[in-house]
Homo-oligomer: A and B are copies of this chain.
Amino acid sequence: MTIPTEAPAWTDIDPSLLTIERNPVKSALPEQMLFGANFSDHMLIIKHVAGKGWQAPVIKPYGPLELSPASAVFHYAPSLFEGMKAYKQEGKTPRLFRPDENMARMSRSADRVALPPFNQEAVISLIKTLVKEDEHLIPPPPYSLYIRPTMIGTRPALGVGASDECMLYVIMCPVGPFFPKGFKPVSLLATTDAVRSWPGGTGQYKLALNYAPCFRPQEKAKSLGYDQNLWCLGDQITECGQMNLFVSYEDDEGVTHLITPPLNGLILPGITRASLLALARSHQKGEITLPGLPEKSKFVIEEREFGLSDLRAWSEKDALREAFGAGTAAVVCSVERIGLPTGSESKAVKDIHIPIGPTGLGPIATGLHARVTAIQEGSLEGPPGSNWSWEC
């Protein structure tokens, strides 16, 4: 007789099933810690099998993946990633910065390209284990260990549709501070012919597919003497390079406005962006005091849409105080110059200049940067009630 069996249930990620295959080599820190070039000794891999769910997690030596050439990721780009950093003070436990936010965003990204859901806490727990496995490769602050959780669709068939097989993996690399020789302001070229994000598109998700279309426009900006693109949708400003943009200007009443585009579907919900906003608001409410930020009665923080025409108008009135990008890699990065279209037929560009101050980073960005990095490194707390820095 056959004992009737039920279809096996879909299984979520279970950290208790982790197996670790140790790398016999224990690397030393590389001499040059270029961003994303030297990888740590181990990686985490979790496979999702169609109809079954997530399989046992594996930590093993960093090395190549073996994939069918028909894998969905190559043909239809169901693929996404996160950027995180682990910080370690000498003799202390390594720390992650708001990993719950990364996992929540990763989960939204996965859903947008029809990849399976996953237990976010389980992945944080596994990342902590991975980080501790390679703790010897976390350089002391302001250096850190960059963590790249990645998810790719691996269904080996060409029919266009959701990839029910996939792989979640995490690789890591020791990285230097983004600006090893002090803050280096960047220049931006307002880019309206190539559009990064549009209504009904995917700009608010951290998908691989948002990046490749930006390579050529980035090369074009460089060839015209600008470091990065200021991404626009018509006149409307969305992001800069791979960062969220903040602008500060002074209005006619002498009030300083710190503004950034709202999460209107066009904007990547950056975790640095959210943290800077929360810190600035906490300062504005008088809960914390951040040196360099305006006195609270003269300070307004706004998430609101603004455009190239606004930048031009503020520049003409000499009202621009600061502009900076915010992201995981650089934390903050000041903008000193923006090439704006003159609107003429000639595609001519006219630069506006933005104060950067003697250090290369304006007072608001400096105050926010100091606090957020102190929280990341574990020496200060976030706004009251927050839980931003997690021990591994």
Query: Which A residues are closer than 8 A to B by beta carbons?
Result: 34-37, 39, 43, 62, 64-70, 72-79, 81, 111-114, 146, 148, 150, 152-153, 157-162, 169, 171, 173, 192-195, 198-202, 207-209, 211-216, 218-219, 242
Contacts and interface: CB of A to CB of B under 8 A. Distances in A.
B79 A150 contact: no
A35 B75 contact: no
B200 A150 contact: no
Contacts of A78: 212, 215
A113 B213 contact: yes
B69 A65 contact: yes
A218 B163 CA distance: 13
A267 to B, nearest CB: 16
Nearest to A199: B195
17 contacts: A36-B158, A37-B157, A65-B67, A65-B68, A65-B69, A72-B212, A74-B150, A75-B81, A76-B212, A77-B207, A77-B208, A78-B215, A112-B213, A148-B158, A160-B218, A201-B201, A209-B213
Contacts of A169: 69
Contact of A209 (B36, B192, B212, B242): B212
A162 to B, nearest CB: 5
B150 A77 contact: no
A77 B171 contact: no
3 nearest CB pairs, A to B:
A36-B158, A195-B200, A209-B209
B69 A66 contact: no
Contacts of A66: 64-66
Contacts of A193: 200
A246 to B, nearest CB: 20
Contacts of A35: 158-159
B218 A161 contact: yes
A350 to B, nearest CB: 21
A211 B162 CA distance: 10
Contacts of A75: 79, 81, 148, 150, 208, 211
Contacts of A76: 208, 211-212, 215
A74 B79 contact: yes
A66 B242 CA distance: 29
